[in-house]
Structure 1
Amino acid sequence: MASHLPPKPTPQHSTATAGGMAEAEHPRPSGLMRWLLTTNHKEIGSLYLIFSLTMFFIGGIFALVVRAELFQPGLQLVRPEFFNQMTTMHGLIMVFGAIMPAFVGLANWMVPLQIGAPDMALPRLNNFSFWLLPVAFTLLLSTLLMPGGGPNFGWTFYAPLSTTYAPPSTTFFILSLHIAGISSILGAINIIATILNLRAPGMRMMDMPLFVWTWLITAFLLIAVMPVLAGVITMMLMDINFGTSFFNAAGGGDPVLFQHLFWFFGHPEVYIMILPAFGIVSAIIPTFCRKRLFGYASMVYATAAIAILSFLVWAHHMFVVGLPLVAELFFMYTTMLIAVPTGVKVFNWVATMFRGSISFEPPMLFALAFVVQFTVGGFSGLMLAISPADFQYHDTYFVVAHFHYVLVPGALFAILAGAYYWLPKWTGHYPHLRLSQWHFWLSVIGVNLTFFPMHFAGLAGMPRRIPDYALQFADFNLASSLGAILFGASQLLFVLVIIKCVRGGEKAPARAWEGAEDLEWSVPSPAPLHTFETPPEFHPHQH
């Protein structure tokens, strides 16, 4: 068997440099057209990441408007109608415009490098997938300037608020979400095609890095649930413009039907935003512990189990709508069951660290913060899963605290960890150590100061999505608003780290981190434009 494999490549001949043969055959456009027409997975990955960072700051500004209004009771900095637009747009932009494109950008950059592929399987589709996003979010942001303002019904856009009582701009919001959804589906198809068809000779499925595995499973989730979202927003469109009554009780429809359809999409969606994070953390922890990942196969099976179970838990968002008792029990138990594979992952990460030779570089700091704080978010999620207790917690700030603990120190910290981990591969320079550490500690303090008090405000009965509140919640909200300002400001340090990293800094070798073993560390740093034009020979690790 071995005699048929190509010779083991060195970085020099497995990677054509920018001035190599491919460049001589295909003269590249320059300037703006280069980025508009590029089909290179690294350039498209960079576009996704830049777009995501831009949206992150726009969504962050909206969040700061919300926190400014809630700084103390009775402020009335903005009108309540505008406050509702801010909460809605913050949610939509952070979920669909910041977190998801960031993970797709990391996938574009790293999946081909990790499996030894020369590029994505469908490069022109890749370009199209990206350029749909600026169109979608320009359209979404433009709704704020339309008569009646932008969407004001929360990021879950429950009917009838989003149909009967919606502002006129809602039709444009629906169109923008359709465009973003098409982008997600096409990107997912591309990732599946790449992983299944373009692995290096000798790399079996169970040899793939976990980031590749988690993205493969995430891509199947995207293809399964994005059409459900497309269906439900099309039904909204019909209710608004064509006189149907899918969600209008007066015409024989049912607003609860909307919630079933939305959350059948929405709950797998939250796992779409966390599974790639698990993959990133599963790459970083073994590297900085200088050990193999504990329980590789169980990690793969746990990821698949989470994905399958995510289709069976959606109605835990709906315990208060009057479900039959048998449904409440079913969804309560399935929701608790999903904690088992998640617990397997946390156990494996801790077991990997046990007696490892740990070094606390910036990627490892963010990965450790992820493990600890994601677990906090998981615990509060288990509390919300208890049906009778949820009658008290539902639609309070406790829910806001829960999902922000899963999404900010969860998904966002994993994205930051991945960025710090792979920046040497992207730029050829290590990130500035002291600035990175400042960024980490300020972020951790800021995120906990922002979201931890929300647990107590929620348990004390403060409802969410309100522009004003009773005096007894004032101290919690003051702390949250100060934390939000600190957290937002500390992200400017991250931009500074990136700028310094791109412009110079300590040079990184091909294997930038001592314990790193995956295939991407066999190409030079920074990675040349074209890599693995000759397929590398893959020698499997013993997992």
Structure 2
Amino acid sequence: MTEHRNQPDQARHEELERVWGNEPGWRSASAVNHTTVGLRFLITGLAFFLVGGVLAMLVRTQLALPEQDIIGPDLYNQIFTMHGTVMMFLFAIPVLEGAAMYLIPKMIGTRDLVFPRLSALGYYCYLFGGLIIMSSLVLQIAPDAGWFMYTPLSSSTYSPGPGSDFWLLGITFVEISAISAGVELVVSILRTRANGMALNKMPIFCWYILAMALMIIFGFPPLILGSILLELERAAGWVFFEVAGGGDPLLWQHLFWLFGHPEVYIIFLPAAGIVSTLIPVFAQRPLVGYRWIVLAIIVMGFISFGLWVHHMFTVGIPQLALAFFSVASMLVAIPTAIQIFSWLATLWSGKVLFRLPMLWILGFLIVFVCGGLTGVMLALVPFNWQVHDTHFVVAHMHYVLVGGMLFPLVAGFYYWLPHISGRMPSDTLGRWGFWLFFGGFNMTFLLMHLTGLLGMPRRVYTYDAEMGWGWLNLLSSVGGFVMAIGVAVVILDIALHFRFGRKAERNPWNADTLEWATPMPVSAYNFASLPDITTRHPMWDQPDLPDTIAAGKHGLPEVLNQRRDIFGSDAITGKVREIVHLPTNSWLPMQTAAVIAVVCISLLVKAYPLALAACFGVLFFALRWSWHNGAHPVASPWRDDDPVDPPLHSRTFDGPGLWGMVISLMANGTLYVSLLFGWFYLWTAAPQWAAPEEGPIALLPLIASGVLLSLAVLVFRRAVSQLRQGTDARLQNLLWLAAGLGLLHFLSLVWVLVTAPLTPGELAHDAVLTVMLYYLLFHGGLATIFTVLQAVRVRIGYVALRLPYEPVVVQPFWMYTLGVFWMSFAAFVLLPMAWGGV
């Protein structure tokens, strides 16, 4: 009788596994499932971490004794530059994003992230970009200007080889990965939570990841813009940072630290999310001050964007600015303290179980508090002046970043390992790994505070014996190797546990969050049915939840029409609004990333015709990608048996694609605002800023171009308005008219650019104007292409009154293009004219 009851369930599980699973063998490279992509991020990040660790050990070997010449100055500069680059860009952010990709759908009760192909694209961009950067080290032409690439050290004058180009192009490539993950995570958390999971019932880890993803969207574009400008200066001779042409090298520092300081909190927040998730589990009580922690997360995210100048206290900024940024730097300690006191209160009021993950959490609390205290010291301007660019700053950075990120990350690894493997790690090996790492870490970096206070500069490859730093550096280097042994023990433990680990019970830590309601090891589809949530602690308050999920007693228990379906929910209440159909396994993400890699490599070897051809290849794959969306037969053809309540998202006006477009435009807008910032900064602060007496851009053609763009937007809005009003009679004609007007706008902008007497190689004024015109051209052309595709899809039948989804997604792009055009006209043309010349 039992066997008879289980047969339908077994068949249903097999069908879910078939639809949601990866292709076998080498074809698994086409996988887009979030579990697979997340694990690939984690494994690749670990590989880069080991490379960065080896580079660190080379640095410590060179500095162990005075006056050593094991590593020459040129190679040493490459090694410390690559160490920082690997750890910051190829390990910390990608690994945390990978952990978020793996965990978030399971925590919010869904089967996948909302844009699976975007996740896969992000991974391949990360992999290929990282390999491009690492190849420079293998070829012995690695960047040597520091992981921050300050100008003019990174300019073609002082770094004439391709090393800086590897950094600029490779990092920009990797940043595509980070921003795609940011968009993916924001939309998934807001729009695909389990039915009933309102914001106030969302796991605290999801709040941390939501803040992190939004900070990526607003924090990474300034660095992307700075990298593009510096590469244009190096490759094309355009002047942005050259003083003689009206530029300013300090503009690079502003753009870099507009990214660099939020990045510290982008790294810290997910790690703190792990701490806030694990402490209640091992204290066996709910987190104290949930709402206060959410508020602290939001405040920390906002404040972090106002601190970038405290990295520039010694460059000669005004006294008022020094005071403002000093106070702001100390204020950020308040939301940090709220979280620490909440963690301590939870531990104090609970019955703490000192399991292996908890040991790493305690190590984090000790190390991070010490790093926070030295951070407050560095926020004081007089002290900052004394220790700036010394080993004290290096020690502080490692206490904050390694203590604030790596300790919680290892705790998280141990905590979620049973979820991945179904087995428990070794408690003995794990504790040996912790004590070796903890002792070696403090031995290394605690002593570096002392060498910094004694005046040892950072980034020096050797030092005289008379300075008295030798014994401190020797002990610090010994500590580094002890720490490396600890890392090796942890990796050995993790590797061995897959073969020899004790089989884990269901929910082995007695956790409260939803990911432990999935099978162990986890299935490709996470949940056999999508649960209803009524509490913040579902595994504590509904202990039978895993059984009811597996029995198919919740939402979407069956596969419909061979689709990968999940629920789309209200952003605030979590109530189900639609069924979101997701794309299945695809080679398009890998193909698109591979062609982008060809663009980067072609630019590195200065094969510009090949780079241009590869750009058209990127456009081809991107358009093919977008073509297989909406009601296309590959995505979700129209069927008479389609669900009506809730409907499929491609049959609505407010699917996740609209949210993805808006979030992407936020990142795009941040890049544009960074360009405006650069324009006004150079205008007001560059010592030799100069502009032509007469404006170099023809005014009337530019206005005509803007009028054509405005008309195109009005026509497109009219088409969408008709859809909303229930008619599609003139939809195709309106779309073709909007595309025609957009094409005329594009051509008129091309004419303005061709006829303008701009000299970007001589004047920073003209260089910024040229970048602005290309930016407007790119968006005008892309909006036109989008509209042509929509008109064609109307003719084929993929867009219609019953399939209104896609034009609503394209409309914000048109609105954004119009907004940045007239904003550019005001900022770059009208304002200088009204000011009487720039």
Q: Specify the TM-score bucket, using the shorter chain as the normaliser.
A: over 0.9
Equivalents in 2 of 1:349, 1:534: separation in Å?
34
Match of 1:124 in 2: 117
Q: 2:252 matched to which residue of 1?
A: 258
In the TM superposition, what is the alpha-carbon distance from 1:16 to its structure 2 partner? 8.4
What is the match of residue 538 of structure 1? 533
Cα deviation digits, residues 22-81 of structure 1 (max 9, x gap): 3445784222321x1111111111111100110000000111110010010111101111
| Residues 1:295 and 2:293 are matched in the alignment | no
Distance 1:222 1:17, change over 3 A: farther
213-222 vs 519-528, greater mean Cα deviation:
519-528
Cα 1:125–1:16 shift into 2, 3 Å: farther
Contact 2:64 2:474 in 1 (8 A): yes
1:278 CA displacement: 0.7
- Is 1:43 the counterpart of 2:36? The answer is yes
* TM, length-normalised to structure 2: 0.62
Structure 1 contact 235–246 (Cα < 8 Å) conserved: yes
Q: 2:521 aligns with which of 511, 519, 526?
A: 526
The corresponding residue for 1:154 is 146
1:502 aligns with 2:498: yes
Change in 2 beyond 3 A, CA 1:26/1:203: closer
Q: SS of the counterpart of 1:273?
A: helix
Q: 1:115-264 alignment to 2 at 5 Å? A: 115-146=108-139, 149-163=141-155, 164-166=157-159, 167-264=161-258
Deviations 1:242-281 (A, max 9, x none): 2222112222211111111111111011111110011000
Query: How far apart in 2 are the matches of 1:388 and 1:181?
Result: 35
User: 1:175, 1:128 → 2: CA distance?
Assistant: 17
TM-superposed CA distance for 1:469, in Å, is: 1.6
Q: CA 1:356–1:177 in structure 2 vs 1: closer, same or farther (change >3 Å)?
A: same
Matches within 5 A, 1:16-415: 20-25=14-19, 28-34=22-28, 36-146=29-139, 149-163=141-155, 164-166=157-159, 167-415=161-409
SS at match of 1:274: helix
Note the C-alpha offset of 1:18.
10
State the identity %: 39
The structure 2 residue matched to 1:482, chosen from 473, 478, 484, is 478
For residue 278 of structure 1, what is the amino acid of its counterpart? A
Instruction: Output one character per residue of 1:447-499: Cα deviation in whole Å (capped at 9) or x when no partner.
Output: 10110000011011110000012331111111111111111122111221111
1:532 deviation in Å? 2.1
- C-alpha displacement at 1:299, in angstroms? 0.6
1:106-162 Cα offsets, whole Å, 9 max, x none, are 111111111101111111111111111111011001112447x21101111100011
The superposition leaves residues 390-448 of structure 1 with CA deviations (integer Å, 9 ceiling, x where unpaired) of 11010000000001001112201111011011001111111111001111111100110
The separation in 2 between residues aligned to 1:432 and 1:538, in whole angstroms, is 34
Q: Secondary structure at the match of 2:531?
A: coil
Separation in structure 2 between the aligned mates of residue 17 and residue 193 of structure 1, nearest angstrom: 32
Whole-angstrom CA distance in 2 between matches of 1:153 and 1:25: 49
Letter in 2 for 1:361: R
Q: Distance in 2 between matches of 1:364 and 1:434?
A: 14
- Deviation of 1:539 (Å): 2.4
> Could you say what secondary structure the match of 2:424 adopts?
coil
- Give CA deviations for 1:316-340 in whole Å, capped at 9, x if unaligned: 0111100000000000000000000
Q: Is the 8 A contact 1:431 1:498 kept in 2?
A: yes
C-alpha spacing 1:466/1:17, structure 2 compared with 1 (3 Å): farther
How far off its partner does 1:355 sit? 3.5
Q: Distance in 1 between matches of 2:177 and 2:346?
A: 36
Partner of 1:8: none
Partner of 1:492: 488
Hey, what's the Cα distance between the residues in 2 that align with 1:199 and 1:121?
10
* 2:495 is aligned with 1:470: no
Whether the aligned pair in 2 keeps the contact of 1:450 and 1:482 (CA below 8 Å) is: yes
Q: Aligned partners of 2:440, 2:224: CA distance in 1, in Å?
A: 36
Larger CA Rg, structure 1 vs 2 = 2
Letter of the 2:473 partner, please give it. Answer: N
CA distance in 2, matches of 1:336, 1:344: 14
1:172, CA displacement in angstroms? 2.3
Tell me how far apart the structure 2 counterparts of residues 265 and 26 of structure 1 sit (CA, whole Å): 37
Question: Distance in 2 between the 1:336 and 1:250 partners?
Answer: 37
**Is the 2:21–2:33 contact (alpha carbons within 8 Å) kept by the matching residues of 1?**
no
Q: Shift of residue 510 of structure 1? A: 2.1
Give the total of aligned pairs: 528
Q: TM-score, normalised by structure 1?
A: 0.94
Residue 3 of structure 1: aligned partner: none
Contact 1:430/1:508 (<8 A) preserved: yes
Contact 1:69/1:467 (8 A) holds in 2:
yes
Contact 1:17/1:529 (8 A) holds in 2: no
1:510-535 Cα deviation digits (max 9, x unpaired): 21103x10111122222222112421
Could you tell me how far apart the structure 1 residues matched to 2:342 and 2:521 are? 32
Name the stretch that deviates more: 242-251 or 22-31. 22-31
**Maintained 8 Å contact 2:17/2:524:** no
Alpha-carbon RMSD across the aligned residues, in angstroms, is: 1.8
Distance in structure 1 (CA, Å) of the matches to 2:216 and 2:21: 36
* Unpaired runs of at least 5, structure 1: 1-11
8 Å Cα contact 2:272/2:404 also seen in 1: no
SS in 1 for 2:430: helix
* SS of match in other structure, 1:360: coil
Larger RCO (CA within 8 A; separation ≥ 6): 1
**In the TM superposition, what are the counterparts of 1:441-480 in structure 2 within 5 Å?**
441-471=435-465, 472-480=468-476
Partner of 2:170, secondary structure, is helix
Report if aligned partners of 2:196, 2:534 keep a CA contact under 8 Å in 1.
Answer: yes
For 1:208 and 1:448, the matched residues in 2 are separated by 36
Question: Residue 537 of structure 1: CA displacement?
Answer: 1.5
C-alpha contact 2:356 2:431 (8 A) present in aligned 1: yes
Whole-angstrom CA distance in 2 between matches of 1:378 and 1:513: 30
Corresponding residue SS for 2:456: coil
Letter of the structure 1 residue corresponding to residue 116 of structure 2: P
Give me the whole-angstrom Cα distance separating, in 2, the residues matched to 1:89 and 1:295.
41
